[in-house]
Amino acid sequence: MSKLVRLVLLLILVALGFWGMWPTIQWYFLLPEDTKELIKISEEEMDKLSPEVRKQVIDIKALRKRVMNLGLDLQGGANLLLEVDAEELKIQLADKGGESLSEAAFREEFDKANERAVEILKNRMDTFGVSEVSIAKTFDGRISVELPGVSEPQIIRESLSRVGRLEFKLVDEEAMKKLQELGVQMVQGAVVSRQNIPTNFILSSDSDWYPLYENDEYGIPRLKGWYVLKKETVLDGTYMDKAQPDMNPTTGQPVVSFSLTLEGAEIFADVTRNNVGRRLAIVLDGRVKSAPVINSEIPGGRGEISGKFTYEEANFLANILKAGSLPVRLNVVQEQIVGPSLGADAIEGGTKAVVISLIAVAIFMIVWYKVSGVIAVIGLVFNIYFLFAILSGIFTATLTLSGIAGIALTIGMAVDANVIIFSRIREEMRRTSNFRHALENGYKHASATIWDSNLTTFFAAVALSLFGTGSIKGFGMTLGAGIIANMFAMLFVTRLVYDFLLETLKLKKVSI
């Protein structure tokens, strides 16, 4: 390959690298902060925007997907470790007739629940407008959720752990009438307390107690009473098509308006037509939100859920219902919060470490290898350039503190390759006075050694990237990208510089 062809190839790769890094440069150095905030607008809020603003939000979100992210340890945020509630899953399987499931069969069901939970969690984060979220399964069957930039994760934590199972159940009117005849105190048609239920009241086998919760003036859910509902679920949230916060024109209270799928609308119409005069309870995660009376058939599959919500909670519930219900409840096993100030300190410290190492290595190489040391430093600059181009343009990676450590390690590995090449060239110069011949043999003999040593490290980096999470994954990805950039810079770029000095500038020898 001629020198001109190699130069053109290098310029093309430099241009492609800049194109890959351009979204990251735009996001972190050119866009104003108020423009970046548009990324937090959820899908529901976008419907209320003007076409011009909506297009701007879509463009910003598309740009953000091409930006190299900063991990929790660099920009702060929350890390949650969740696990599927195994006991609740066993109860669900037992209700379906799976009491005799073997350990292997249960593990298979457990893994399926994990898979579905991960997908639902990703959908929920999309509806809440949370960007840069990382959701992945761990080796021990848990789910790791990283939320960079989220300093108050309470509402996010609740949305992650809440099952979001919506059910429509008929009120057991006979049981409720019997309780009223027995003089049991009631409020809003519900039993105030279960402690004073007469002993002669017998609950039928197809019914059960369900709590009624309403928000107080501070928006905190409070137990208001109990309903006796039929166990059978006449309709559930799997038939949910749309859900959005709304205002009831009669009461002026926030509600959640919903519409069902075509199949769900048919079922809803049948249920309301056959049960006029009865109450239909709307149950979310085992709690009754409301139990309105069915006055007539409700066609069209439209309705609303009320319960003295604040608008924020109505919006929250709408997002939960749109994203879908989890297969089983998730428990928060561990929660870590990293403040933005700690992240800023980490960035400053990590950047300082990389710069100092780069300067120290450059000084050593120039002092020890003279002009060849300068060529090595040029190759090192290209190495770092292509490293960031690969991370941001190809992988759209998340840069973590351990990733910065990987960059520092890459700098050392790049110099290591140069040291091997220079040592080979010096050995060849002891045999011949022709520097050009020594250069060619030095690169030829050193290349095999460099390829062997870097490939073994590259395979380890790939394993860390594929199977690791968090900082381990970040380190592996940075190290792998650094090795690719290193091989190109040290075997291609530095050789091109040597050829330029010897062929274009007609130098007889380059000090080494």
Determine the 3-state secondary structure of 235 from DSSP.
strand
Burial environment of residue 321 by CB neighbours within 10 A (0 to 12, 13 to 18, 19 or more): buried
Any domain includes 371: yes
Count Cα neighbours of 358 within 13 Å in the Cβ-side half-sphere: 19
Asked if residue 368 and residue 454 are part of one domain, the reply reads yes
Q: Are 423 and 480 part of one and the same domain?
A: yes
Q: Are residues 402 and 429 in the same domain?
A: yes
462 and 408 share one domain: yes
pLDDT at residue 171, as a whole number: 93
Where do we find the tokens 């209270």? Answer: 253
Burial class of residue 187 in the structure, from the number of CB atoms within 10 Å of its CB (0-12 exposed, 13-18 middle, 19+ buried): exposed
Q: Are strands 254-260 and 302-305 parallel, antiparallel or unpaired?
A: antiparallel
We report the CATH number of the domain holding residue 235 as 3.30.1360.200
- Provide the 10 A C-beta neighbour count for residue 156: 19
> What local confidence, expressed as pLDDT, does residue 211 receive?
92
Q: pLDDT value at position 43?
A: 58
Does 7 reside within a domain?
Answer: yes
Say whether both 307 and 223 belong to one domain.
yes
Asked if 309 and 455 sit in the same domain, the reply is no
In a domain, 148, yes or no: no
250: CB partners within 8 A, 6+ apart: none
Q: Could you tell me the two tokens for 74?
A: 């660099």
Q: Which of 290, 325, 360 is the last residue of a domain?
A: 325
Mark which of 325, 351, 370 sits at the end of a domain: 325
Q: Give the structural domain span for 250.
A: 166-325
Contact (CB, 8 A) for 168 and 203: no
Q: Which residues contact 341 (CB under 8 A, 6 or more apart)?
A: 76
CA distance 338 to 262: 46
Domain count, the chain: 2
Residue 251, both tokens: 């009461």
Q: Between vectors from CA 20 to CA 18 and to CA 23, what angle results, nearest 5°?
A: 95
**Series of mean pLDDT values for 10-residue runs along the chain (512 residues):** 87 94 91 84 67 84 83 77 86 69 81 81 65 74 79 64 81 91 87 87 91 72 88 86 82 83 91 91 85 86 76 73 74 78 74 86 91 92 92 81 83 83 89 87 87 88 80 83 90 91 87 86
CB-count burial class (<10 Å; 0-12, 13-18, 19+) for 476: buried
The pLDDT of residue 113? 84
> Residue 310 carries which side chain, given as an amino acid letter?
T
Look at residue 47 and give its three-state secondary structure.
Answer: coil
For tokens 């660099």, the residue is 74
Nearest in space to 236 (alpha carbons), one of 309, 300, 163, 297: 163
Q: Are residues 188 and 283 in the same domain?
A: yes
**Is the residue at 125 inside a domain?**
no
CA atoms of 295 and 1, how far apart (whole Å): 84
**What one-character DSSP code corresponds to residue 395?**
S
Burial of 207-218, coded b for 16+ CB within 10 Å and e otherwise, reads beebbbbbeeee
Whether 210 and 348 share a structural domain = no
What's the CATH code of the domain at 347? 1.20.1640.10
CA dihedral 6, 7, 9, 10 (to 10 degrees): 120
Alpha helices by DSSP H, listed for 327-400, are 340-389
- CB-based contact 150:336 (threshold 8 Å): no
Query: How far is the C-alpha of 10 from the C-alpha of 6, rounded, in Å?
Result: 6
In a domain, 31, yes or no: no
| Residue 109 domain flag | no
Would residue 143 count as lying in a domain? no
CB 236 within 8 A of CB 179: no
Using the 3D structure, point to which of 325, 353, 381 is the last residue of a domain: 325
Q: Do both 307 and 445 map to the same domain?
A: no
CA neighbor of 414 nearest in space, from 364, 376, 366, 360? 376
| Residues 323 and 263: beta-carbon distance below 8 Å | no
What residues pair up with 242 in beta bridges, in sequence order? 259
